[in-house]
């Protein structure tokens, strides 16, 4: 069974939003282009040790990624007055990003207010003279930048949700049939596009459930409590993400946010607060919470688009060959790109199931395992590639391979005189064998058999002949 996993993207995009200037360096511009034209991941080259006796290895590589450059980016924006101080900086960062989008990236951008009434779940435009959806394939870049800058800086407010602080509720409503049909008629939520959702806020979401022991920042307008009771009884960050994941299907999805998190250093004035609610949804989606108080643009640019543009179909179940024995579950180990990963071994079907990390495109999955020892049953050793090499008048070397780590022994017969010499057993367990023969008679035909075993009676090869030199 394959795990079809929409890989989340635009990890670096969001670091743009917290800058105070719309100018990007050449490296940052190049990184945006590279993000929408991501190179394939190449796993590290790993030199695995040879398996021990009765032990085996299973090696596979994950399939390559399928890359899409068709992306819908949805900004769910807090429209309350407390965000006004940061709004210009956010608009500058978004503007800088849009200005550098590669021409071959099919990107549509929309803004959705964090509202619970008129604009809940609906795409926003401040003027009927501009489209709801900003399409880089149909609009001039200058027009997209101007329209988006206006929307990010001038969003309609809503009194009942304390200015517009119900981002999760609004996103949840966007998946209702009426709102979804409206958005799709406007050209958004395309059925074949990746989706990146970006929350932009400087405080908690109305529908947040606060961690135990956390005291909410006081709401001087006394709007948040009544709004929670009215709109959030059945809307939680986790439920909304589950619904969004089902809505997006196997297409790439990213949930992220430009917010204050637990590590942010921000002014504790007004209603500025850690983004409770948003953070829980972002973490449920394994997304990215970008520090609204930061300014490290370059650190994220190199990853822009890399994850939202890639769809992976990663294999998570692997069948092992028991080689005629019984696999010891305690011996099974799994590495993905040389790092140990969690797994479950199902002995009934001899399958390894990866339970979390399955790697990336082209990742190496390496499984090692051993058979249970059975003193009452001998496991035969298979002998192959038997040959005589480096022949001189008095010496020669015998080489062969075995499928199991095993001992080495050679029996030599002088076919003219009938003498038989059985050499010593070399106890080192190997799979590539070499035994030197010395004291041979020149210009004489010898017949050779080899023996290899682990325990009990060793396996014996068919005889082969050679003649020493004169």
94 Cβ contact partners less than 8 Å away, ≥ 6 residues apart: 16, 17, 75, 148, 149, 152
| From 219-228, 307-316, 383-392, 408-417, the region with the lowest mean pLDDT | 307-316
Residue 12: pLDDT band (50, 70, 90) is: very low
User: Comparing C-alpha atoms, which of 292, 297, 214 is closest to residue 260?
Assistant: 292
Question: Is residue 6 scored above 60 in pLDDT?
Answer: no
Residue 16: pLDDT band (50, 70, 90) is: very low
Q: Exposure string (b/e) for 286-297, b if CB count within 10 Å is 16 or more?
A: ebbbbbbbbeeb
State the Cα torsion 332-337-341-346 to the nearest 10°.
Answer: -40
Whole-model pTM above 0.85?
no
The beta strand positions in 121-193, using DSSP E, are 134-135
Phi and psi (nearest 5°) for 16? -70, -30
Residue 315: pLDDT band (50, 70, 90) is: confident
The HSE-up count of residue 170 (CA atoms within 13 Å, CB side) is 32
| From 48-52, 369-373, 383-387, the region with the lowest mean pLDDT | 48-52
> With the C-alpha atoms ordered 434, 435, 439, 442, is the resulting torsion angle positive or negative?
negative
- What is the arithmetic mean of pLDDT over 236-265? 85
**pLDDT for residue 35:** 54
188-215 pLDDT, tens per residue?
Answer: 999 988 888 888 888 888 998 888 888 7
Contact 96, 22 (CB under 8 A): yes
CA distance 190 to 251: 10
The beta strand positions in 78-193, using DSSP E, are 106-113, 134-135
Question: Is residue 287 scored above 60 in pLDDT?
Answer: yes
Residue 4: pLDDT band (50, 70, 90) is: very low
Question: Is residue 295 scored above 90 in pLDDT?
Answer: no
| From 126-130, 226-230, 288-292, the region with the lowest mean pLDDT | 288-292
Contact 423, 448 (CB under 8 A): no
Using DSSP's 3-state secondary structure scheme, residue 64 falls into coil
352-364 pLDDT, tens per residue?
Answer: 998 878 888 899 9
Domains and CATH numbers, the chain: 2-40+66-311 (3.40.50.410), 383-467 (2.60.40.10)
108-132 pLDDT, tens per residue?
Answer: 999 999 999 999 999 999 888 889 9
User: Comparing C-alpha atoms, which of 202, 23, 25, 179 is closest to residue 116?
Assistant: 179
**pLDDT for residue 19:** 37
* Order of strands, sheet of 310-315, starting from the edge strand that comes earlier in the sequence: 2-6, 310-315, 66-67
Residue for token pair 């010891």 = 328
Question: Is residue 458 scored above 70 in pLDDT?
Answer: yes
Chain centroid, CA 3 distance in Å:
11
Backbone region of residue 420 per phi and psi (left: phi > 0; alpha: psi in -120 to 50; beta: other values): beta
């Amino acid at each position: 069974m394959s795990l079809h996993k929409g890989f989340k993207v635009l990890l670096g995009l969001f670091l743009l939003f917290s800058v105070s200037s719309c100018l990007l360096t050449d490296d940052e511009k190049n990184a945006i282009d590279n993000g929408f034209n991501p190179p394939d991941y190449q796993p590290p080259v790993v030199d695995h040790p040879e398996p021990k006796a009765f032990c085996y290895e299973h090696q596979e590589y994950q399939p390559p990624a399928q890359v899409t450059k068709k992306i819908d980016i949805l900004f769910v924006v807090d429209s309350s007055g407390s965000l006004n101080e940061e709004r210009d900086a956010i608009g500058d960062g978004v503007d800088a990003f849009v200005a550098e989008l590669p021409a071959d990236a099919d990107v549509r951008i929309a803004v959705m207010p964090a509202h619970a009434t008129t604009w809940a779940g609906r795409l926003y435009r401040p003027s009927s003279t501009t489209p709801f959806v900003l399409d880089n394939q149909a609009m001039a870049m200058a027009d997209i930048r101007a329209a988006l800058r206006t929307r990010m800086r001038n969003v309609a407010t809503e009194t009942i949700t304390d200015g517009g602080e119900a981002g999760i509720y609004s996103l949840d409503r966007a998946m209702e049939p009426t709102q979804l049909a409206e958005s799709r008629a406007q050209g958004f939520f395309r059925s074949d596009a990746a989706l990146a959702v970006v929350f932009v806020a400087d405080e908690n979401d109305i529908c947040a459930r606060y961690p135990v022991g956390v005291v909410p920042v006081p709401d001087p307008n006394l709007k948040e409590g009544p709004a929670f009771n009215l709109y959030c009884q059945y809307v939680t960050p986790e439920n909304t993400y589950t619904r969004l994941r089902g809505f997006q299907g196997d297409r790439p999805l990213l949930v992220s946010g430009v917010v204050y998190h637990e590590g942010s250093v921000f002014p504790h004035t007004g209603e500025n607060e850690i983004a409770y609610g948003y953070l829980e949804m972002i973490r449920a989606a394994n997304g990215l919470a970008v520090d609204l108080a930061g300014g490290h643009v370059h650190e994220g640019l190199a990853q822009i688009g890399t994850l939202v543009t890639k769809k992976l179909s990663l294999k998570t179940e692997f069948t092992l060959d028991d080689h005629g024995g019984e696999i010891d579950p305690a011996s099974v180990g799994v590495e993905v790109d040389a790092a140990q990963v969690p797994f479950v071994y199902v002995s009934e079907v001899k399958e390894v199931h990866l339970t979390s990390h399955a790697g990336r495109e082209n990742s190496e999955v390496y499984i090692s395992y051993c058979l249970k020892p059975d003193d009452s049953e001998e496991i035969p050793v298979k002998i192959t590639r038997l040959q005589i090499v480096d022949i001189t008048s008095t010496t020669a070397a015998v080489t062969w391979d075995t499928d199991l780590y095993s001992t080495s022994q050679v029996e030599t017969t002088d076919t003219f005189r009938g003498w038989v010499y059985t050499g010593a057993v070399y106890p080192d367990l190997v799979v590539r064998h070499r035994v030197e023969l010395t004291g041979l008679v020149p210009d004489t035909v010898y017949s050779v058999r080899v023996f290899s075993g682990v325990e009990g009676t060793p396996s014996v090869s068919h005889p082969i002949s050679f003649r020493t030199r004169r």
